[in-house]
């Protein structure tokens, strides 16, 4: 699912804590909060893959309209189905060779695979990964 309208300054860690605190620990296997590579700040949306359709539907039903953020924010969460990629395998294939997985990108800005509530190793790339455009000058 896609989470939209996340608060400014929201991080991947805050995303994982939100999922876990709302009772969805061990019910998701992938999470990604894209960042602006210019300043490494979250882009106010995220992608989460739930283990089952029922878990995803329950999350959507429970958190659509959520506004109980840990930090001061007037933003109201919207939840939508991810029309582009469905399932862990598709998401891994989408991101494993993506510039976001380049070594110059901080680990906290990368997508994660979660197994049994713990971060798991992301499969290695199958091709050479280019640094994100904004980081290319910093990567050398």
How does residue 67 score in pLDDT terms, banded at 50, 70 and 90?
Answer: very high
Place of tokens 């893959």: 49
Share of residues in the chain with pLDDT > 70 (%): 95
Say what the pLDDT of residue 84 is. Answer: 76
Q: Is the pLDDT of residue 140 over 50?
A: no
Say what the pLDDT of residue 136 is. Answer: 47
Distance CA 109, CA 107 (A): 5
Mean pLDDT within 58-77: 95
Q: Is the pLDDT of residue 106 over 80?
A: yes
Burial of 103-140, coded b for 16+ CB within 10 Å and e otherwise, reads eebeeebbbbbbeeeeeeebeeeeeebebbeebeeeee
Say what the pLDDT of residue 66 is. Answer: 97
User: For the whole model, what pTM was predicted?
Assistant: 0.91
Express each pLDDT in 20-35 by its tens digit. 999 999 999 999 999 9
Mean pLDDT within 5-17: 95
How does residue 39 score in pLDDT terms, banded at 50, 70 and 90?
Answer: confident
- Retrieve residue 86's tokens: 């469905």
CA geometry: angle at 3 spanning 94 and 136, to 5°?
A: 45
Is 19 in contact with 28 (CB distance < 8 Å)? yes
């Amino acid at each position: 699912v896609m989470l939209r309208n996340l608060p400014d300054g929201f991080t991947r860690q805050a995303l994982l804590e939100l999922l876990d605190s709302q009772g969805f620990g061990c019910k998701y296997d992938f999470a990604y909060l894209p960042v602006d590579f210019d300043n490494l700040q979250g882009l106010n949306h995220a992608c989460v893959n739930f283990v089952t359709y029922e878990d995803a539907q329950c999350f959507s039903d429970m958190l659509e309209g959520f506004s109980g953020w840990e930090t001061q924010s007037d933003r109201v969460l919207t939840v939508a189905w991810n029309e582009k990629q469905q399932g862990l395998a598709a998401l891994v294939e989408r991101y494993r060779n993506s510039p976001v997985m380049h070594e110059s990108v901080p680990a906290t800005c990368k997508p994660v695979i979660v197994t049994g509530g713990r971060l798991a190793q992301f499969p290695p790339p199958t091709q050479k990964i280019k640094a994100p455009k904004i980081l290319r000058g910093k990567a050398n």
